Amino acid sequence: MSAIAVMTSGGDSAGMNPGVKQFVEHSLERGLKPYLIYDGLEGMIDNRIKPASHRDVSGIIYKGGTIIRSSRSKRFLEESWRQRAYDNLRSHDIDKLVVFGGDGSFRALDVFYRDFGVPFIGVPATIDNDIFGTDYCLGADTALNIIRQAIDDVRDTASSFKRAFVIETMGRDCGYLALVSALTSGAEICLIPELPYDLDSLGRRFKREVQAGRTYIIAIVAEGVKFAAQLTEWLEDEIGMESRLTTLGHIQRGGSPTVHDRLMGFEFATLAINGLLEGRGGEVVCYKKSKMIYKPIGEITEGTYKINPLHLEAGKKLTR
């Protein structure tokens, strides 16, 4: 019986557990022997690799994060540690890999693939939704819903006290979370790395609106802009509105996966296993134009993700 293993690598995201559950169940359905690699690349090096059954993934579909845990690994950059990881896989007769992660994880596994010829298929999983070649990454919908709930809750108190609230979202250097959250929550300001902003223009606009009766302001700032604290001070000093900063932080990475992320985890895992059984390797399952497709790893890692131009155009009005 051919053996196949799964790992979750890099930042965790809701939807990984539903994906891992489907990985085990679909592997068994296809006559494969599934293994779980605990603690990502570090776990592969340290042989934290265990055979899996239905019992191991029972009751995990509603849980956020990843039950097999995750890591980043500097050791994996060295060939000697990759050799140890390969030897560990061979000791379990594992000859196929599925990895849930982002660009860094895919690059690491691509080097491993070229070193030892162990075929893998990647599943894009990051709340930042910033992987080139796919319109959707596992975990983004759950993160957006957590942000939406936070914005809705903050709006209640903002309107009650006539305050401005600045909400900082995650996303590294990508403004996807901030922009989509702003557009779908009716925010008045949105600052993201992809768009220039004009404080003078914003100041003139809000002074007019306050004179016309505006009583509160909601501003969404992507962490990559590095301007959330300064914007909070600016709103108070320039607009004259009492202001508060809310940094959402890592709550955006947790939480029970939404229905969308559970379904996407199911589909990604299914296509990853099917692709490996078809003889594919060194590829990523991507969701493009409402279809699941396979793309070579080089195309994914060499490209640069860009936010939907329609969303960017709509976001311009929130920057000036």
Mean pLDDT of the chain: 97
Whether 115 is a known active-site residue: answer: no
For the segment 55-66, what is each residue's pLDDT rounded down to a tens digit?
999 999 999 999
For the segment 271-318, what is each residue's pLDDT rounded down to a tens digit?
999 999 999 999 999 999 999 999 999 999 999 999 999 999 999 999
pLDDT of res. 148:
98
pLDDT of res. 186:
96
Residue 77 has pLDDT above 90, yes or no: yes
pLDDT of res. 200:
98
**Active-site hit among 128, 130, 141, 261:** 128
For the segment 234-285, what is each residue's pLDDT rounded down to a tens digit?
999 999 999 999 999 999 999 999 999 999 999 999 999 999 999 999 999 9
Domains of the chain with CATH codes = 3-139+257-305 (3.40.50.450), 141-253 (3.40.50.460)
| Token pair recorded at residue 281 | 């390797």
pLDDT of res. 89:
98
| Token pair recorded at residue 190 | 């949105």
| Token pair recorded at residue 8 | 């979750």
Q: DSSP letter at 188?
A: S
For the segment 134-164, what is each residue's pLDDT rounded down to a tens digit?
999 999 999 999 999 999 999 999 999 999 9
User: Is 76 strand, coil or helix?
Assistant: helix
Task: Pick 103 or 133 by higher pLDDT.
Answer: 133
Alpha helices in the chain (DSSP H): 16-29, 40-45, 54-57, 79-91, 103-116, 140-161, 176-185, 199-211, 228-234, 259-277, 297-302, 309-315
Return the exposure string of 6-29: e unless at least 16 CB atoms fall within 10 Å of the residue's CB, then b. bbbbbbbbbbbbbbbbbbbbbbee
Q: Taking the alpha carbons of 40, 302, 111, 4 in that order, is the dihedral positive or negative?
A: positive
- Band (pLDDT 50/70/90 cuts) for residue 205 is very high
pLDDT of res. 1:
81
pLDDT of res. 146:
98
DSSP assignment of 32-54 equals -EEEEETTHHHHHHTT-EEE--H
